[in-house]
Structure 1
Amino acid sequence: MAVVLMAGGSEAMAENAAGRFDRPWQGFAPASTMLRADSAESAGLDPGPLAEAERAIEAWTRPNPTRPLFAGAVTLSAHNGVIVSRSEAGQAVRYADASGTELPAEQRVPMRPDTIFDLASVSKLFTSLAVLCLVEDGSVDVDAPVAGYLPEFAANGKDSVTVKQLLTHTSGLEPFIPLWRDWPDKASRIAAVLDRAPKYLPGSRYVYSDLNLITLGVLVERRSGKPLDTLVAERITGPLGLRDTGYNPSAAKLHRVAATEFQSSPPRGMVRGEAHDENAWSLGGVAGHAGVFSTADDLAVLAQAILNGGGYAGRRILRAETVREMLTNHTPQFPGNDHGLGFELNQRWYMGALSGQRTAGHTGFTGTSLVIDPASRSFTILLTNRVHPSRTWGSINLARERLASGLARAMAVCPRHGADAWATGWADGTTSTLTSPQLVATGSAQVTFDTFVDTESSDVLRLEWSSDGQTWQALPMRAAGRGAPPGQVDVLAGAGHRSWWTINADVPAAGQFTVRWRASTDGRYLGRGFYVDRILVTDGDRPLLNGEKEPHLMTPDGWRPQSC
């Protein structure tokens, strides 16, 4: 397996990066990092955005106006080894039937910190980790054809599909087939998956598919000689001390398990303590794509082990070089579908403002999500039972995004120069302007400033000039810094670099003029926003405006001074 190395951060960087969004770490956290609970302030974070996210999650568990977005939730967020926020709200069991008839108050089960959730597709991460354990053992090669390990998988044109293509959802297999309905037993269901013809030419497109991970679960069992649940326990949950993580929770834990859906087809009634996913259930509750149950605390240990480079509390589940490869984008040919080996990467729709090239995670259909951000050594966990009592009640993507963004916005973006910088905040659907006073140049004036931009591509910062204060024209900009756009550009946007850029531009005509910075955001998704610092406008060697010394001359509309 090829290895892509991450550069390690210096000790000086490490000392200054805690609590800072604009000073990303490049390497893993020390392998000795252990989780501890403390205040957000102790980790250098602003508690406000974290508390705001918690309040939003709690509000979504209340009727609005007639029913909640989800019955209940447990959250946990951590930064640099410190659990800085955790909450529980709503009920683990709330409804009696699919129509949403509420149980009597005495029969409802409130959420608690150790509520056990059906992770749904977050289970795919455990299968992927198991595959990589076998890669380290030398019994699996991610670049090898799957058929070399499962000969029957070669059927119907799949002889060249590799293990990596299954891990990255580029095998060409379709997303789903109803195994529970159309095949009579586990053996025939597994055979149906392995026999399935690709819907698309392998390697030609990204298509998220449960069949990929079901196949990998079978591969793990064949190559290890052990059931998938046994191998996961021996190589992952056991070494990490995850006491509540596994398949088919015991009857002794049922009182802590969150209910999922009331199912009529198949006729299962209110599902609780069994895999919600019908295919996983039909495979005995142990499958490569779904079936794992866990708690926020257990997932926190797994997340920290990933941030630590594969180990926790002196026990290692993967080597650091394997984790680096796991968190490397193996699908650059499919922009927007960045994918590591099992982990999704850089998905703003649920990673929110934590998004970046190395931000990794996964979601689950039952209402779960895990986001791990190595650049800030942070992670956030949202566990809900959003399919209780019905999968048709709606999406929780807004909640996923809000929680991750709350953690990102709790970290500071500090001024690059002086006591403060200008910042827009993070409001969607707005236009904010920062305007200079009227200036006069005898020749072509130069505009220089530093900026921190962390947005989606449709949220942009423009530099404009006007000779009359009414008609504005774009000033082409030249940017320098890590991740800066090449050449001249009319707008600045982008995320993941987490670096300040230095910008230069030329006002094309002599005489009277005004310059302004105009930030525009669309209706959904925003990262850490826009920051501008060290504004300097010169006419040759003659200064016309020094923003550090004369901030009072600027006219802000939607911008505000931001200190650190």
Structure 2
Amino acid sequence: MSDLEGSVRALLDERLTLGGFSGAAVAVSVDGDTVLELEVGVKASVDVNGDRVETDAGEPVTRDTRFDLASVTKLASAHTLLALVQAGVLDLDEPIAAKLRAYQNGAKKQVTLRHLLTHTSGLPASWHGWEMPLLEHLAARTAGAPPLAETPFEDREALLADLLATELVSGPGEHFRYSDAGYNTTMALAETVTGEPWEQLVAEHTLRPLGLDADISFGAPAEASVATEYDTRFGRGLLRGAVHDETAWVLGGRGASAGLFGTAAGLLKLAEALRAGTGEILGDWMWAPQLGRMLGPGRERDTPSGYDHSLGPRIGQLNMMGRSGWNVRGHTGFTGTSMQTDRDAGISIALLTNRVHPSRHGAGISGLRGMLADAVYVATGRADAEAMKHPLPPELW
């Protein structure tokens, strides 16, 4: 066993034993060559009834296993939107009010696609317009009804109209506020302008051109996927192959903030495309820092964990990217996923777990992403082991 495999396996096995997830997969490349593909654990630790599955009877995670990518979806979304900009269909700095009537009033008239892609639009973190109608629907269901396999909302356009009516909580360009609502607004913008469904746009402008369509998709067969949460609040039961994020789910399983499922190898391929940086989208727009431009000089790392942001990826988020991560690009996902890539060191890392299984309130994976990155850099000779011993400030972990 190589030092790299041994270090990564030790980290994953420790969190698996502590109950941080039921299964995980990691893929690592160095200078364009895949040097590690590793899987541990099983796809689910409880069954469709919520009963514990004995480890020996579980389905092992394999290289073909798909994970709910959660907010890592935003990277594919950003690429899709920027492809539409490159094609002249959208504009980064034109107010979206030119295309969306709901933005033709007040401060919303100033919001641009660049604001939305950098989380500086002034929108709140989330849109909750679906929540009360869903709870009312659940209350009206008969006792003992089966879990909701599909969204009960038939009128997706009405939901998007409610999303677009969301008011700003600060002026555009005043603050960084991570916003799923902002990314889903970009989806509504793209669908409105093109007349095409979001999943088709993502496939046409990102998944197929980057060779990802065999490994990444919206939704996945249950048997090919790890389970995420056993949901009781919204009556969905065991989530497996169905998106965990409730907003993406009510919108039909597809969103710009979440919705994609993928393998570790597929996510690594996306990371490598960004590292290679071919063309304007991957080479410049999704790499170049933006927060100094959007918020003003000196506020480049004016974010909760002190990271900068490009048009899609985060930059230098050390609690996920490790001590060598100041110039690294990537993103995390709520379900326990992450992707990062480093042009200077030639390293890309894809980490997939189901840390929300069987509950989002479980042991979790706090600190794992950064420790995994540190282990990869040391084992591949791209960082000094002694330097990795110096602790980061607590707020960065």
**TM-score, scaled to structure 2:** 0.86
**The residue matched to 2:34 in structure 1 has which SS?**
strand
Shift of 1:236: 1.5
What's 1:351 paired with? 321
Shift of 1:131: 0.5
Q: How many residues align?
A: 366
Matched-pair contact (CA < 8 Å) for 2:111–2:121? yes
Matched-pair contact (CA < 8 Å) for 1:170–1:207? yes
What's 2:284 paired with? 324
Residues 410 and 273 from structure 1, CA distance in 2 versus in 1: closer, same or farther, beyond 3 angstroms?
same
Matched-pair contact (CA < 8 Å) for 1:132–1:322? no
1:74 to 25, 36, 40: 25
Who wins on radius of gyration, i.e. which is larger?
1
Matched-pair contact (CA < 8 Å) for 2:107–2:172? no
Q: What is the CA–CA distance in structure 1 between the aligned matches of 2:382 and 2:335, rounded to whole Å?
A: 35
1:88 to 1, 25, 39: 39
What's 1:419 paired with? none
**The residue matched to 1:200 in structure 2 has which SS?**
coil
What's 2:145 paired with? none
Q: What is the CA–CA distance in structure 1 between the aligned matches of 2:105 and 2:24, rounded to whole Å?
A: 43
**The residue matched to 2:240 in structure 1 has which SS?**
coil
Residues 168-207 of structure 1 correspond to what in structure 2 (within 5 A)? Answer: 168-183=118-133, 185=153, 186-207=156-177
Matched-pair contact (CA < 8 Å) for 2:215–2:266? yes
**The residue matched to 2:357 in structure 1 has which SS?**
coil
Shift of 1:140: 1.3
What's 2:246 paired with? 278
Identify the range of structure 1 (130-139 vs 394-403) with the bigger mean alpha-carbon deviation: 394-403
1:55 to 4, 7, 10: 10
What's 2:331 paired with? 362
**The residue matched to 2:233 in structure 1 has which SS?**
coil
- Choose between structure 1 and 2: higher helix proportion: 2
Gaps of 5+ in 1: 1-38, 40-46, 311-318, 415-421, 430-455, 459-521, 526-564
Code of the residue aligned with 1:122 in structure 2: it is: V
Shift of 1:115: 0.6
Shift of 1:423: 7.8
2:218 paired with 1:247: yes
Residues 292 and 399 from structure 1, CA distance in 2 versus in 1: closer, same or farther, beyond 3 angstroms?
same
Shift of 1:322: 5.3
Q: What is the CA–CA distance in structure 2 between the aligned matches of 1:423 and 1:303, rounded to whole Å?
A: 25
What's 1:260 paired with? 228
**The residue matched to 2:349 in structure 1 has which SS?**
strand
2:388 paired with 1:426: yes
Q: What is the CA–CA distance in structure 2 between the aligned matches of 1:130 and 1:49, rounded to whole Å?
A: 34
Structure with more contact order per residue of length (Cα contacts < 8 Å, sep ≥ 6): 2
What's 1:213 paired with? 183
Code of the residue aligned with 1:235 in structure 2: it is: H
Residues 293-442 of structure 1 correspond to what in structure 2 (within 5 A)? Answer: 293-310=261-278, 319-320=279-280, 323-332=283-292, 333-335=299-301, 336-357=306-327, 359-412=328-381, 424-428=386-390
Q: What per-residue deviation string (whole Å, max 9, x for no partner) do you get for residues 243-297 of structure 1?
A: 1311132xxx321111110111210000111111111100000111111111111
**The residue matched to 1:61 in structure 2 has which SS?**
helix
1:121 to 45, 55, 71: 71
Matched-pair contact (CA < 8 Å) for 1:353–1:408? no
Matched-pair contact (CA < 8 Å) for 2:95–2:112? yes
Identical aligned pairs, as a percentage?
33
Q: What is the CA–CA distance in structure 2 between the aligned matches of 1:291 and 1:353, rounded to whole Å?
A: 30
**The residue matched to 1:85 in structure 2 has which SS?**
strand
**The residue matched to 1:370 in structure 2 has which SS?**
strand
Code of the residue aligned with 1:173 in structure 2: it is: L
Shift of 1:235: 1.8
Q: What is the CA–CA distance in structure 2 between the aligned matches of 1:344 and 1:413, rounded to whole Å?
A: 21
What's 2:149 paired with? none
Code of the residue aligned with 1:328 in structure 2: it is: A
What's 2:148 paired with? none
